[in-house]
Amino acid sequence: MTVEDVMRTDHGPALMLSNEAVVRGALESDVKVVSFYPGSPVSEILDTFGEVLDHFGDYKMEIAANEKVALETVAGASMAGVRSFTSMKSVGMNVASDSMFSMGYTGLNAGCVCLIADDPFAHSSQSEQDGRYFGEVAYVPMIEPSNAQEAHDMVRWAFEVSERHKTLVIMRTTTRVNHSRGMVKLGDLKRTPFERKSWADVKGQYFTVGSVARALKAKLLEKKAALQKEFEKTKFNFIDEGKGTTGVITAGVCYLHTKEAMRNLEAELPVLKIGTLFPLPEEKIADFLKRLDKVIIVEELTPYLETRITAIAKEANPTIEIIGKKSGHFSEMLEYNVPIVEKVLSDVTGSEISLDYDAILTRAEELAEVLSNRVPIFCPGCPHRGTLWAFRQALNRLKIRDKIVFNNDIGCYSMAFLPPNEFSDSMLAMGASLGLSAGMNLVLEDKVIAMVGDSTLYHAALPGIVNLIHHNSNVTLFVLDNSVTAMTGQQFNPNSEFNAGGHPARKINMEKFFEALGAAKIAIIDPYETRDCIQPIIDAIQIEGLSVIISKRDCALYGDRLKKRLGEKIVPSENVKDTCRSIYACVKEFYCPAILVDEDDRKMKIQQDLCDGCLECRQVCPVDAPRHIER
């Protein structure tokens, strides 16, 4: 990812990722405080702000412990009188919503914008959550772009709306919008110096309880009415004129699918594109419905728009035929694409479909049958590989593989449920492994084991750990300490020595933390010394109370970056063919992508362009065949 266009001072145009366009729009709005917890599909927003932090030098940035802290940080900055911004995936708003609901009541001061991204198809999430309901139930305005240009423009507008109405503004996106590229016309980049303020100059009352809450609710409803009046006139709600009495109402990336499907069908239907999800432009929708006999609602996930448009239609046009999810034309599952939308438009309008999509998919499935199944695996040099191998050996020696329950969590190690490990009896949400373990420990006779990464530990696991120790629960906890939030792109966390922009930060001492809480046992292991990890794991599992195994080794990708920065060489490994006995333990038990079987002599071969030189494979090999290449 390049960020040169984000720093440009001219007016464009520029080819940008939508996530980069969001950053540019916020910078053009003179944002002064940003805070994030990383999560796909919005990680590039955090990364881009971090990359240009020192270039601009006029805003403050933090990588927060979780999304709730990130939202509260930017809300506090807004209350203190400066524009602020955060982004998170929609499940992150589950974490932050406690405070977000109260912000709807109290309002804010300077412009404050929060972007939340849904993930239809669950590309990188544990569920296909529909975040569009957050705005409505919290009485917080929500807007939605469909491309990179709108993402840029809407961020700028959102700051203006936020300040005009003294409210948080949520911008909702989906994965396909976040990760799409498009031409963006840049605006003025007029940055001002960062200046601290006096609370006496900006002071407001930001609390809500009891009678105060009731008074604030009345003001909140007045604010909603004012927002709705403004949203009726915004350029982000517009109509593409067409022919006939069958029309389409859509939003976000589905607008792009609709336009392309219409072009394929050579159809010219009128289209109402919604840019404000809450409050909806009800008058504009009603006027559009009055001119139609049929309306097709194109939206991914739940029938959010369809339900509300159906209610509007009862007054505006009670005889109109509404085609959407409830009519059976569209599914509430997965993400949409042009073929899905084109098939429905073809069916409704009687137009001939442009391609036989079913035949193409059938042929693709036939071709896929000849391909080998490839499961996701850890990167070369990943320390989790060694930790899980040692864990398997410990369970085998204790002969309790079938007498444990393993509660997994969110991170790269989520892949523990795949071969060759095949662990995981649960995996719900960040930090949930601790609470689940507490409940299971009360009921089961089996040994309860949980696993979290260092980022997840500080994000959501701390209350669960306190609970386990306080109740003297007999649980073993693995903490995979790899120094960064690896799964989302090696962003820093409280267990890192750096913060945003690579600036030095205070690293939390994990061992002292567990000592202070009173863990029954704390074992530190190095997963690169894989054989030496087995006995400490055995000992920890046999301890009564909460035993903690901290597996300490940098993420391989992060460690390689540090080495390159310091000018250190990464020395790959090779297999000594004279020593190798073709036992294949490294292949069968380790699943390292750098290891393969040489077709000439059927012995193990290490691909040196992939090898990280960790020599974990030597720890697994019964005859110690792998070694570092001598140079």
Alpha helices in 40-109, H assignment, sequence order:
43-56, 67-79, 90-106
Which stretch, 504-508, 548-552, 560-564, has highest mean pLDDT? 548-552
Look up the pTM and report it. Answer: 0.95
Average pLDDT, the chain: 95
CA angle 105, 108, 113 (to 5 degrees): 105
Note the pLDDT of residue 631. 56
pLDDT band at 590 (very low <50, low <70, confident <90, very high): confident
pLDDT band at 373 (very low <50, low <70, confident <90, very high): confident
Asked if pLDDT for residue 538 goes beyond 80, the answer is yes
Is the fold of 4-231 the same as that of 383-565?
yes
What is the assigned CATH class of domain 569-628?
alpha beta
Note the pLDDT of residue 345. 98
Residue range 555-559: mean pLDDT, rounded: 94
Q: How many Å apart are CA 464 and CA 456, to the nearest integer?
A: 12
Note the pLDDT of residue 36. 98
pLDDT band at 374 (very low <50, low <70, confident <90, very high): confident
In CATH, the architecture of 383-565 is 3-Layer(aba) Sandwich (3.40)
Question: Which CATH number is correct for 4-231, 3.40.50.970, 1.10.3720.10, 3.40.50.2000, 3.30.43.10?
Answer: 3.40.50.970
Q: For the residues of 260-322, what is the DSSP string, one character each? A: HHHHHHT----EEEE-EEES--HHHHHHHHHT-SEEEEE-SSS-HHHHHHHHHHHHH-TT-EE
Domains of the chain, by residue range, sit at 4-231, 238-366, 383-565, 569-628
pLDDT (tens digit per residue) in 182-197: 999 999 999 999 999 9
Asked if pLDDT for residue 630 goes beyond 80, the answer is no
Q: How many Å apart are CA 146 and CA 173, to the nearest integer?
A: 8
Contacts by residues 196-201 (CB-CB < 8 Å, ≥ 24 positions apart): 197/80, 197/81, 197/82, 199/80, 201/81
Q: For the residues of 23-42, what is the DSSP string, one character each? A: HHHHHHTT--EEEE---TTS
Name residue 403's amino acid: K
Alpha helices in 519-572, H assignment, sequence order:
530-542, 556-566
Question: Which CATH number is correct for 238-366, 3.40.50.300, 3.90.1480.20, 3.40.50.920, 3.40.50.1970?
Answer: 3.40.50.920
Q: How many Å apart are CA 321 and CA 479, to the nearest integer?
A: 56
Note the pLDDT of residue 12. 84
Q: Which two tokens stand for residue 593?
A: 């992508």
Residue in 217, 159, 183 with CA at minimum distance from that of residue 15: 183
Q: How many Å apart are CA 17 and CA 15, to the nearest integer?
A: 7
Residue range 215-239: mean pLDDT, rounded: 97
Residue range 198-220: mean pLDDT, rounded: 93
What's the gap between Cα 426 and its chain centre?
A: 20
pLDDT band at 629 (very low <50, low <70, confident <90, very high): confident
pLDDT (tens digit per residue) in 380-430: 999 999 999 999 999 999 999 999 999 999 999 999 999 999 999 999 999
pLDDT (tens digit per residue) in 286-336: 999 999 999 999 999 999 999 999 999 999 999 999 999 999 999 999 999
